[in-house]
Structure 1
Amino acid sequence: MALSPREMQAAIVRNLPERTGRTLEAWVREVRAHGPSSTDRSLRAARTAWLKQHHGLGHIQAQVIAAHAEDAGGAYEDGDALLTTLFAPGSASHALFEQVVRLVRATDGSVEVVPCRTYVGLRAGLPSARQFAVLKPLRTRGAGGGIDDDALLMGLAFSPESLPTATDAAIGTQPAKARRGLGGSARITHELLLRSSADVYAAQEWIMRARGSATVTADARRSK
């Protein structure tokens, strides 16, 4: 059974001593004593990057530690509450998000949906358990001056062997533009802008190619 975001965070914290040699409390002391204390970017993002660069931690491990270091109570909260905050009920982006999840799970029922504060991750099931896509609403200013929650921005993580080529651009994939605040894994390489149900179906091949990349990449790492 897939873990909830809260259960996943608890598992990460529980496994820190075995996998990193330090408890969560020890890592928090390390971050506060030697990590970034002020920055022109998000402090949590800076601390996450510092932990990855200087200590070789994984992205989610670093994110959880950085969140606790600022007394944020962890990187994840209740999944349903996070989704409600991120996607306005009845919005176009929420309908598109649900369509993407249905489409992916119809092909691979092991895919996990991992809600976070600013995006939703799609993660391949075991044994790879790698994030291959991130989703977030893209808000634009409507004709009346209000904010329309009318599109879904999707980031996809492709392995080098499955990267889209120049001739593939016609279907809409393009290199992630400074990540547009997509969040999630630094492995995200490309993005798709989904505005309609037809866009989701047109993107199906790319979504499943990214899903396949997660398994191929994990298998390659295990074989080394």
Structure 2
Amino acid sequence: MATPEEQLATMLANLPDKTGKPLDEWLKLVAAEGLEKHGQIVKFLKGEHGVTHGFANLIAAKALESRGPDDPVAEQYSGAKAALKPIHDSLVDYAKCLGSDVEIAPKKTSVSLRRKKQFALITPATKTRVDLGLALKGDEPGGRLEIYNAMCSHRVRLESVEEIDDELRDWMAEAYARAG
């Protein structure tokens, strides 16, 4: 029985005969379509070009692999949320000023700001708003500072860079201090 590596090599060798194009031509075609997700690429190849599922799956995987490592922050602030990126950048820049031990940890849908533990969470919540979660357990909510969830006890909703004021920076500094 063939190993998975041998099966892959066989599929790649058979790709031009079975689909009518070598892999590099399929990759150019997929890139020209601007499709971002595996399922979208498979659907396109099967629907528009009659490629069988197995080969469409292979081409999609190779197309995404060739783009290099994913950048979760770029993904979070793409499309309709692109205008929110300056808010994210300003929050991260300020967090870095809090101390050399600040860790910026991008996740799929948010960016965690950590020290020994998480003290803040930046999430592009809607097309017009970034939510800044803060670990300020025990503090009373008030004004812009709202009760949030278990990971971050409080949140501030931000729609512009101008809302990153002294009050917000004080809350971030306090959350940072408590995470040490």
Task: Please give the range of the TM-score, normalised by the shorter of the 2 chains.
Answer: 0.5 to 0.7
CA distance in 2, matches of 1:187, 1:137: 16
**Based on CA coordinates, which of the two structures has the bigger radius of gyration?**
2
1:122 equivalent among 108, 113, 118: 113
> Are residues 1:85 and 2:75 paired?
yes
In structure 2, the partner of 1:136 is: 123
**Distance between the aligned counterparts of 1:150 and 1:99, measured in 2?**
16
Structure 1: give runs of 5+ residues left out of the alignment: 1-77, 140-148, 180-185, 216-224
- For the Cα contact (< 8 Å) 2:98–2:176, is it kept in 1? no
In structure 1, the residue matched to 2:179 is 214
Query: 1:117 aligns to what SS in structure 2?
Result: coil
Aligned with residue 147 of structure 2, among 148, 156, 175: 175
Contact 2:134/2:154 (<8 A) preserved: yes
Q: Tell me, which stretches of 5 or more residues in structure 2 are unaligned? A: 1-68
Q: What pairs up with 1:1-224 in 2 under 5 angstroms?
A: 78=69, 81-88=71-78, 91-124=82-115, 129-139=116-126, 149-160=127-138, 163=139, 165=140, 169-170=142-143, 172-176=144-148, 179=149, 186-201=150-165, 202-215=167-180
Q: CA offsets per residue over residues 199-223 of structure 1, 9 Å max, x none?
A: 11241111111111111xxxxxxxx
How far did residue 173 of structure 1 move? 0.4
User: Residue type of the partner of 2:74?
Assistant: T
Greater RCO (CA < 8 Å, at least 6 residues apart): 1
Normalised by the length of structure 1, the TM-score is 0.45
User: What SS does structure 2 have at the residue aligned with 1:91?
Assistant: helix
How many aligned residue pairs are there? 111
Q: Which runs of 4+ in 1 moved over 6 A?
A: none
Alignment partner of 1:150: what SS? coil
For 1:203, give the aligned amino acid: L
CA RMSD of aligned residues (A): 2.2
Q: Following the alignment from structure 1 to structure 2, what is the Cα–Cα distance between the partners of residues 104 and 81?
A: 20
